[in-house]
Amino acid sequence: MIQEVAGPVSLPQSAAYTDIARWATAVIEVAGIGAIVVGAAIGTIAFVRDLVTKTTLDDAYRRYRVGLGRSILLGLEFLVAADIIHTVAIEPSFRSVGILAIVVLIRTFLSFALSAEIEGRLPWRRSGRPQ
């Protein structure tokens, strides 16, 4: 005999699918954090090395900012990818998609601003002249 269930019925997701998605999200988040931390460490070491080798402070600082900015950009890309996987594969709800949209907008703006700062020009300008 088949019993009917009262109320809304949710379709179960495969536990293996959810576990893989959670694992992938965690790995990508760690990669993003690692890219930022390792990039900051390498940039700091290079900055100190530049100061020791009598590079001007302006040049050393400029290289440090570029290296740090690039590592932050790379880390942000990983973190956005992890958020997308989490939202699409683990929590596909309107609320989580809305939060994802806001997070992606903020991170996209940060990426845009950092890119413009690093390159000294707006991304759609081909010349090397600062804007």
How would you write the pLDDT of the chain (131 residues) with one tens digit per residue?
444 444 444 445 577 778 888 899 999 999 999 999 999 999 999 999 988 998 888 888 888 988 898 898 899 889 888 888 888 877 777 887 888 888 888 878 887 887 777 777 766 666 555 54
Q: Where are the domains of the chain?
A: 19-118
**pTM, rounded to two decimals:** 0.69
Q: Please, is 83 exposed, middle or buried when counting C-beta atoms within 10 Å of its C-beta (0-12, 13-18, 19+)? A: buried
